[in-house]
Structure 1
């Protein structure tokens, strides 16, 4: 006998089953704490950490209906976002997993709905909400459903772990011999591997900005790694970008998040570089793995920017100068508008900023854009 839940039954069941239990909370707290304290750093590391967390939550959670699981995952996403709202990637991974769950529900419904019933349902006046709650529990045991979703997350982990490989393959086609490149994002491992891969078949010069005040040491290490791979590399002060831009063939930047409108978040100081590039009509390529694409729109760019230690901009020992300055800020990120980027290079191909929304629609469900 096939059992279906009524809307009232489902609402009652959801309240009981989709709460965050102390067991699940104990899994979430260390991750939120690690993000806040910058103990979990690096875009790829953060993405993989969220994948591990969601697998543990799905294994530990008690649910009898897939929509209960959706509500639990949404609440986990809300807690992560509240704990560290500046980190877009954690929300991306939560939404990707929610899309996996919804796709599996849709697949099961399609497989178990007779053709005649499907034809009559086209004429039905039932709302979408009523159709969602009438999920047949006998179609698949929860343990089978659980294992399918966990396997889907493992596949997502593989995609994230191997994201650079898909991007690197395009490097030889985009970089030419004897070209001068400029990158203002020495913190990006993707940019580093992209350039190293291109060096296998191309000879070129890379200009690397010093990235004052937050990433000076990182930029020195970045230059050293490029030199070790026989790439001619020059470290330049940030103030000289405009002067050298006329000689630059391409600007290559890394990004920490790409939004549905085609804009992105990148290192502090990148806005200055891409504006110089636009003035000189130098193409700007942004590298980003698919997991960095977000369905969100940056309605207020300032809310996305994380602020760091202002003492790096103006040392507290210079107290005489500080007395004459109203405010000293040290933004760690810049929002780059889509008109300053020519093409995004991802592990699934290259796309214009105006096409990013389409890639987002293929990987996310619009009902999960707002997790609250």
Structure 2
């Protein structure tokens, strides 16, 4: 079956609007991206024609490849595709194990008393007919559980607060656009009193920084908005640095907001612990071999206003990077919805949720 035959017009009609939303940045929040891809794959499985799990795997891989090529710097869609492939492969292996575990006992008991013809008949009886509809419903249930996991990711992360934050501690976060960090701090307030320093994240997230500070203040959390340039000056007073993540790689490194790299470097210099908050769906089986290809670039007009045309004439390149790559040695603990882990242990969590054969979708 060729690629054109695998991806039918019905499947294309489902994929195209999602790709369009990704390219136009109409899907901004990481959780929204993950939920959209998971729901898309559930629809693809329901409308596609397949007679065995291998055909379904091929369809999902092709869909994942199309999404990846349309937006190669976005890691989360590929994660969700691989998680769904993991679900399909696990269900297939379980079904085969059930068949194999039943048949050998039957064949060994009667092998001395039956003819070859009779044994062939037993094989036919022992192997159930493949029920595509049953497998379809089982896989759909697996994806629904994945959707529930993504939807409730903040609840799992919040459960760890009591052991991580102390009373009257000063915290610093350079990622005010992180919904998980916001919920984490609000939940922590119910058990601890603390102060939060929030960097303004110039030039891309100033409005989000103000919103973040306002939400914390509404929950009676003492919050101070500071310029990015003062991170090193205040670090000696900071007890912990808490960062949000956009993606976490198998080596324990991660992608986060532009400017986070300098903050965690300052934290390392002052021996201040760095906690990275990440839902399980952000963990990727990939390795960041080509870091520059992973970094997305935004509107350079935010860095240097186009009205300053005289200054622009003397500048060759103006770059506005939207993300930083954070090496694993700069992060002490990853806080996920299934627990806290050292960066050196992330590869083990990845192996529990992805199949090695799906690392490359092409």
Q: 1:95 aligns with which of 68, 82, 88?
A: 82
TM-superposed CA distance for 1:212, in Å, is 0.2
Q: 2:133 aligns with which of 143, 151, 169?
A: 143
Indicate conservation of the 8 Å contact 1:81/1:90, yes or no. Answer: yes
CA–CA separation in structure 2 for the residues paired with 1:16 and 1:293: 29
Q: 1:50 aligns with which of 22, 37, 41?
A: 37
**For structure 1, which segment, 136-145 or 332-341, has the greater mean C-alpha deviation from structure 2 after superposition?**
136-145
TM-superposed CA distance for 1:140, in Å, is 3.2
TM-superposed CA distance for 1:65, in Å, is 1.1
CA–CA separation in structure 2 for the residues paired with 1:272 and 1:266: 11
CA–CA separation in structure 2 for the residues paired with 1:257 and 1:20: 28
Give the equivalent residue in structure 2 for 1:288: 278
Instruction: Tell me how many residue pairs correspond in the alignment.
Output: 343
Normalised by the size of structure 2, how large is the TM-score? Answer: 0.92
TM-superposed CA distance for 1:17, in Å, is 9.6
Q: Deviations over 1:115-164 (max 9, x none)?
A: 6759x9xxxxxxxxxxxxxxx99543111110110110000000000000
- The alignment partner of 1:317 has SS state of coil
- The alignment partner of 2:231 has SS state of helix
Give the equivalent residue in structure 1 for 2:114: none
User: Mapping of 1:1-372 within 5 angstroms?
Assistant: 14-15=1-2, 19-114=6-101, 117=104, 138-372=128-362
| Counterparts in 2 of 1:95 and 1:354: CA distance versus 1, 3 Å | same
TM-superposed CA distance for 1:325, in Å, is 1.1
- The alignment partner of 1:233 has SS state of strand
Unaligned regions of 5+ residues in structure 1, if any? 1-13, 121-135
Q: Deviations over 1:233-291 (max 9, x none)?
A: 00000000000000000000000100000000000100010000000000000000000
TM-superposed CA distance for 1:171, in Å, is 1.2
Indicate conservation of the 8 Å contact 1:257/1:264, yes or no. Answer: yes
Structure 1: 4+ residue segments shifted above 3 A: 14-18, 114-118, 136-140
CA–CA separation in structure 2 for the residues paired with 1:165 and 1:284: 21
Q: Note the aligned Cα RMSD (angstroms).
A: 1.6
TM-superposed CA distance for 1:83, in Å, is 0.6
CA–CA separation in structure 2 for the residues paired with 1:16 and 1:178: 59
